Structure 1
Amino acid sequence: MDACLECIAACNSCYNACLEEENLKMMVTCIRMDRECTDICALAVKAMQTNSPFISHICQLCAEICEACGNECKKHEAEHCQKCAEACFKCAESCYQMVTN
Structure 2
Amino acid sequence: MLTCESHKVIQACLDCIKACNTCYDACLNEEDVKMMVPCIRMDRECADICAFAVKSMETNSPFIQQICQVCAEICEACGNECKQHNHEHCQKCAEACFTCAEACRKMIT
In 1, the alpha carbon distance for the partners of 2:105 and 2:96 equals 14
Alignment of 1:31-70 (within 5 A): 31-70=40-79
Give TM-score scaled by structure 1 length: 0.99
Say what the alpha-carbon RMSD is for the aligned residues: 0.2
Question: Which runs of 5 or more residues in structure 2 are unaligned?
Answer: 1-9
2:99 is aligned with what amino acid? K
In 1, the alpha carbon distance for the partners of 2:46 and 2:13 equals 9
Query: How many aligned residue pairs are there?
Result: 100
1:44 is aligned with what amino acid? A
Q: Displaced runs of 4+ in structure 1, greater than 2 A?
A: none
Deviation at 1:79, TM superposition (A): 0.0
Give TM-score scaled by structure 2 length: 0.91
Could you report, residue by residue, the CA deviation over 1:17-76 in whole angstroms, capped at 9, with x for unpaired residues?
000000001100000000000000000000000000000000000000000000000000
Deviation at 1:4, TM superposition (A): 0.1
In 2, the alpha carbon distance for the partners of 1:31 and 1:82 equals 14
Question: What is the match of residue 87 of structure 2?
Answer: 78
1:36 is aligned with what amino acid? E
Question: Which runs of 5 or more residues in structure 1 are unaligned?
Answer: none
2:14 is aligned with what amino acid? L
